[in-house]
Amino acid sequence: MSSNEPVLSFNPPMRVLMGPGPSDVPARVLSAMARPTIGHLDPAFIGLMDQIKALLQYAFRTNNALTMPISGPGSAGMEACFVNLVEPGDTVIVCVNGVFGGRMKENVERCGATAIVVADDWGTPVDPAKVDAALKANPGAKAVAFVHAETSTGVASDAATLCNLAREHGALSIVDAVTSLGGIPVLADEWGADAVYSGTQKCLSCTPGLSPLTFSERAVEVVQSRKTKTQSWFLDFNLLLGYWGGNAKRAYHHTAPVNALYGLHESLVMLHEEGLEAAWARHAKMHEALKAGLEAMGLSFLVAPEHRLPQLNAVNVPAGIDEALVRAHLLERYGLEIGAGLGALAGKVWRIGLMGASATPNHVTLCLTALETVLAELGATVAVGKALPAAAKVLWG
């Protein structure tokens, strides 16, 4: 770029976000983020931090004192859990049934620990019997790590059973709830979960860049009794608690992303206004409507109904169809973004998100209309004209 060439402000195109994240961000959240920036140790901001903590405790269904947002995306929340709880020489049972279980394994190994992998096919949930067997074969395992809602496949695993198994064997539980928080029940205290992390850009419908998490008292004790220093200075809870711990005097740790936290606060206020149970029911209903329309069109799902996530739908690509071309047409013509398959599912599925503000009747009907039109044009064998009436029956009776 030459010095004489004009530099223009960036104005993003308008999109309808129905991929695996981010989801559409409500105007209320964007407006909150545009409010005046204040200092990260300003008394008014400290008050906001306390409100965010209380609202996150509501979202996680927990009374855990260590409940806070990490200044970084969901991957930073993941890393924070592992670097604080896992030390060199530890053994961790890692459940891998998709991309993000694989990332957990990578985190364990980078902590100098041994990862015992419990593998299940992509599109199927974690098998508790395999986890039980792995725990019996590895007495003294430090933790069991699993993905509650696997974003790469759209499958939900039985978090309550897996957390209970970990506790029965004296192990901690580390739970990835990036795609589940706000969309399906996340019940940290009822499950007895020790570490649960999430992200802001999925069912909370905030912008990307923050990772809410919560640690049980048992997990906090493990952090405080470590034999070695946490390998990450930035993510060391022994330091972060001086800032987020809730004392009257907060110790400076880092400059928090002030305006991003305004946005998170607003999104959590909106979740509280709607009510958790109502939000879960809304996501479930939008999924049923989308499912009815897609199946009436002749499309099928990767995941069995009893294990399917309502907020992340893995839809099989019809034979002979270029899935990337379909996504390109949807984006160019309708401004509609859906996701591609990852890893073993690349080219085989679309990932259609119904998360947060993207879980509405308008999103469902636009997606069905656009997808049917593009698929018919490309020669796919789809039943034209049946999707919308099927979805409407679910939405409006």
Instruction: Check which CATH number belongs to the domain holding 174 and give it.
Output: 3.40.640.10
Please tell me the predicted confidence (pLDDT) of residue 247.
61
Q: What 8-state DSSP symbol labels residue 378?
A: T
Do 190 and 332 belong together in one domain?
Answer: no
Longest CA–CA separation in the chain, Å: 69
pLDDT in tens, 367-391: 999 999 999 999 999 999 999 999 9
User: Domain boundary at 238, 272, 306, which?
Assistant: 272
Do 368 and 250 belong together in one domain?
Answer: no
Report the mean per-residue pLDDT for the chain.
96
Residue 16 lies in a domain: no
Lookup: tokens for 130: 């395999």
Give the domain extent around 345: 275-396
pLDDT in tens, 43-76: 999 999 999 999 999 999 999 999 999 999 999 9
pLDDT in tens, 144-188: 999 999 999 999 999 999 999 999 999 999 999 999 999 999 999
Residue 10 lies in a domain: no
47, 68, 99, 243, 367 from 249: Cα distances, Å: 12, 17, 41, 8, 50
Do 78 and 137 belong together in one domain?
Answer: yes
User: Domain boundary at 272, 292, 327, which?
Assistant: 272
Please check the confidence at residue 1 and state whether its pLDDT lies above 90: no
Please tell me the predicted confidence (pLDDT) of residue 241.
87
Count of structural domains, the chain: 2
Please check the confidence at residue 260 and state whether its pLDDT lies above 90: yes
Residue 6 lies in a domain: no
Name the pTM for this structure.
Answer: 0.96
Q: In whole angstroms, what is the distance from residue 378 CA to residue 325 CA?
A: 9
Do 132 and 261 belong together in one domain?
Answer: yes
Do 205 and 312 belong together in one domain?
Answer: no
pLDDT in tens, 93-120: 999 999 999 999 999 999 999 999 999 9
User: Domain boundary at 244, 272, 300, which?
Assistant: 272
Residue 21 lies in a domain: no
Do 265 and 284 belong together in one domain?
Answer: no
Do 190 and 84 belong together in one domain?
Answer: yes
How buried is 234 (Cβ within 10 angstroms: 0-12 exposed, 13-18 middle, 19+ buried)? middle
Do 302 and 243 belong together in one domain?
Answer: no
Where would I find the beta strands (DSSP E) of the chain? 16-17, 66-70, 91-96, 114-119, 143-147, 149-150, 155-156, 172-176, 195-197, 211-215, 312-316, 336-337, 339-340, 349-353
**Distance between start and end Cα atoms, the chain:** 57
Please tell me the predicted confidence (pLDDT) of residue 15.
98
Do 256 and 293 belong together in one domain?
Answer: no
Residue 85 lies in a domain: yes
pLDDT in tens, 311-348: 999 999 999 999 999 999 999 999 999 999 999 899 99
CATH code at position 387: 3.90.1150.10
- Give the number of other CB atoms < 10 A from CB of residue 277: 9
Do 71 and 106 belong together in one domain?
Answer: yes
Contact 347, 322 (CB under 8 A): no
Do 190 and 69 belong together in one domain?
Answer: yes
Residue 366 lies in a domain: yes
Do 238 and 317 belong together in one domain?
Answer: no
Please tell me the predicted confidence (pLDDT) of residue 356.
98
